[in-house]
Amino acid sequence: MPRTTFPALPQSAAAARRFVADVLLDSGLSHHVVEDAVLLTSEAVTDNLARSGAAMDLVVIADESMARVEVHDLPLDGGAAATLVELSPERLKVIETVAEAWSIGTCPDHGRCLWFELRS
């Protein structure tokens, strides 16, 4: 399961989009699913950067029929978790509209996260 960490920098959104696209294209998913996943990744990562200013981990789980992307908030310098659960209403609407399934909460072994799934 591909996983990488992105710093709290504006260029992390573009790097996260490339990471997700590369992983999903290698898995054999349709270009339509890859494009939707890149859009939703951009929304989640950009919102995390704007609201929490914290670094984040991205986890991508995929095969030829589905993609799951998880954006995990990382602790801030003081040890407190970032505020990923406060997704903006505008970005949340995009995720609700495009994703087949999604949630904000706790992901096993990874702490708080936003995840979404898409299917071919």
pLDDT in tens, the chain (120 residues): 899 999 989 999 999 999 999 999 999 999 999 999 999 999 999 888 887 778 899 999 999 999 999 998 876 655 555 445 567 888 889 999 999 999 888 766 665 788 999 998
Residue 108 has a pLDDT of: 64
Number of separate domains in the chain: 1
CATH code of residue 20: 3.30.565.10
The DSSP letter of residue 28 is: T
Q: Give the separation between CA 12 and CA 5, rounded to whole angstroms.
A: 9
Residue 2 has a pLDDT of: 92
The model's pTM is 0.88
Task: Indicate the helix (H) or strand (E) that contains 14.
Answer: helix 12-27
Domain residue limits at 95: 3-119
